[in-house]
Structure 1
């Protein structure tokens, strides 16, 4: 059995240069397509086993048209790029495994799923290609080893046939479904794929926009059950909770369907007019969910979150020694307080409550994305929301002040709605969530990440040792 790979070697095997080399040497020759750009759009690390990266790849084909030079352009401006008669985008996924035994399990599963299939990666059949020496694989969306029905859910013809059989449950008025446009809204490799479906009808007045979600495992069925139960909670919540209306779960495609909620996602501008009202809505939504008694699995445990942070201490030591020291001290202090702090009440929990899970539409808000709906202590949802209120790299003092005001308003409103809520572990949960943000920033390593990580870990220690506002 081989040795365990380091994060550095895994990233080297799956970075932009490696993806570009794979495309230019193994995928594009003989196709007529030219690589225009490969840009990493996503990365995820799940210690101690797996790392993912995803690239949005732009391709061109045909005789390139060179734009005429503009004499008035600033000399520092980028040179005009050629335009191709045909251009398209594909998504390339890389997955690497650190442990040799984990790689062997993965490679065996890929062989069971796909055999020796090669397919055409540019025609929807980009099956995994394995690289045993570096313990990584490349594949192309919509192929996904953990979501075998993803490609069918992305196929307009297949979805059209399905929707025609479901039209009475989908459409608001009698009409004939004539076509379905499919747009990928989000793809998280081996987790979920979300599609925006525009249903065209005759007469056109019956046309409707809905969303569909394919999830790994049995997540779609579970999401439908949770959302159906929460829909009834929302109807009785007197405006405290609003969610997209669930439509159905289609087991043949593992596809959960829901109505499109109005509005746009709340952005990271803490000074925007809708940000504080959205925070008050989030507090009310959390209170309604916590009181709902909707059955929830699995459990989110504080101890598990601490173990995740334990698992990245060595990585911090290699790339940011000062942050490693801050994280180590933080974990020591959290565990010291945890040992003599009573457990809180366990309640149904959104599981990923953050400002960007809200849609706003002319003063009305909708809470979305219940993929991580779980049972957890009272403070888990609240601490996550508060931990993500603060910008890791604020554009100005106004953003930080607005975040502090939003945090106080959020906690005040929640406690007003649930005055007897058990919150004795809130500081511990918030410190852990800030630690998780630091961990994510370390993985992403965007410009300025070192300073952002230090700031998050310092804030985590401050929150741990402060009282609730």
Structure 2
């Protein structure tokens, strides 16, 4: 089913910019939009419409340099009440600036302060961040009980409003502390919920399991968790690139040399994931395939509230998968990363590292394996830049399937995993990818994502089970 015509425009930066330029705050040309980008738009539980964030760079009268601002956006579906704007002619610099673009069904206003992340102002102020990091690491890490930080410089900030923020710092020490082995880089991650605490305790359990030796995989040392601020402080993992970067470049080049390098690091990743799964760590909630199925149904129900024709579109497939899962018992429950994809694998020289343990818990190995192979296939097809329904696209799909098959065989050389369970988990993951075309306002990705799902159902044999 194609996405409705009203859904796509709010996700196109040039379209929104053009409509915004015609509003009273910009129409006379005194204040100009220099840059405009879509940061993210999502259909979230409990909200009437899609909400998200845009970044705008403007320059107005008296501005020596362009100013960057964040805008909160809401896409209003047909049938829902459109907002009434109290001051439609307010200048953009006014805190009360608020606009509705009826042709796009898009409401925009300045991004308000984020009450869900009260620690963010502390983390983005270098002086306060220095004190926070020093005190936190001293209190939580006996090996660094006397650490003395001279200053920090923000290297990178990643912010997801209402959910989480990550700040990477370069850390400076006084000359007399040179050679102490204190971390030259620290990361602070703050969350709206309990993911930071979960990540810290899961990372600590993995660190104490023997994986911290770094023989197979590098893990970040958990330096501190500050519950009063919901701030996690892990140590650094160095990287030249991510496995996702290597995957994209290798598939795009499609030469024996680049594909050979990709296979080498895919093998290392399979070895490391098997080591994590067999580490014996028992921490975190247990997630089952049935839990994932319920989540997929919840997303479909949420979408159906905005696009009613989607209500029953996937139900025959889901019922069939339930019947297959009922006679395909899961593998034993093991430690699970739960968000394991090529972007979570960092490459440095000849080593690999794993990051992002926010959702760490317990599950059957098929959860991590399916998410990794699903994302690998999708990234590879995106990097190949071919029509998935063309002969060349079919050849590329077979190439990516072979790459994933080699990965799974390498993993299975260490520990077994049910192929049927992997196929079941991957089907839900691929269906979620299709749903993202609606929930993330990415209708242009729908043909490629549908092709991945249809191809998977064909080659996995699940429909014949």
- With the length of structure 2 as denominator, give the TM-score of the two structures: 0.73
1:35 to 27, 33, 36: 33
- 1:94 and 1:171 mapped to 2: Cα distance? 46
Structure 1 349/96 Cα, relative in aligned 2: closer, same or farther at 3 Å? farther
1:92 to 71, 80, 83: 71
Gap regions ≥5 residues in structure 2: 80-91, 252-257, 387-391
Which residue number in structure 2 is paired with residue 260 of structure 1? 236
Q: Helix, strand or coil: the match of 2:275? A: helix
Please state if 1:404 is matched with 2:401.
yes
2:434 to 433, 438, 441: 438
Structure 1 344/194 Cα, relative in aligned 2: closer, same or farther at 3 Å? same
Residue 37 of structure 1 and its aligned partner are, at CA, apart by: 2.6
Q: Helix, strand or coil: the match of 1:275? A: helix
Q: Which has the higher contact order (CA 8 A, sep 6+)?
A: 2
Please state if 1:162 is matched with 2:162.
no
- 1:21 and 1:223 mapped to 2: Cα distance? 42
Please state if 1:191 is matched with 2:179.
no
C-alpha contact (below 8 Å) 2:189/2:233 kept by paired residues: yes
Within-5 A mapping of 1:17-96: 34-47=32-45, 49=47, 51-61=50-60, 85-94=64-73
CA RMSD of aligned residues (A): 4.6
Q: Helix, strand or coil: the match of 1:312? A: helix
Residue 412 of structure 1 and its aligned partner are, at CA, apart by: 0.8
- 2:415 and 2:96 mapped to 1: Cα distance? 51
Structure 1 86/430 Cα, relative in aligned 2: closer, same or farther at 3 Å? same
Please state if 1:152 is matched with 2:128.
no
- 2:116 and 2:18 mapped to 1: Cα distance? 25
C-alpha contact (below 8 Å) 2:195/2:358 kept by paired residues: yes
Please state if 1:361 is matched with 2:358.
no
C-alpha contact (below 8 Å) 2:8/2:441 kept by paired residues: no
Which residue number in structure 2 is paired with residue 75 of structure 1? none
Which residue number in structure 1 is paired with residue 282 of structure 2? 295
Matched positions, count: 416
C-alpha contact (below 8 Å) 1:56/1:91 kept by paired residues: yes
Q: Helix, strand or coil: the match of 1:417? A: coil
Q: Helix, strand or coil: the match of 1:389? A: helix
- 1:26 and 1:149 mapped to 2: Cα distance? 36
Q: Helix, strand or coil: the match of 2:234? A: strand
Cα deviations across residues 374-405 of structure 1 (Å, max 9, x unaligned)?
A: 22222111111111111354325575454223
Residue 428 of structure 1 and its aligned partner are, at CA, apart by: 0.9
Which residue number in structure 2 is paired with residue 377 of structure 1? 364
Q: Helix, strand or coil: the match of 1:388? A: helix
C-alpha contact (below 8 Å) 1:383/1:430 kept by paired residues: yes
C-alpha contact (below 8 Å) 1:213/1:255 kept by paired residues: yes
Which residue number in structure 1 is paired with residue 211 of structure 2? 235
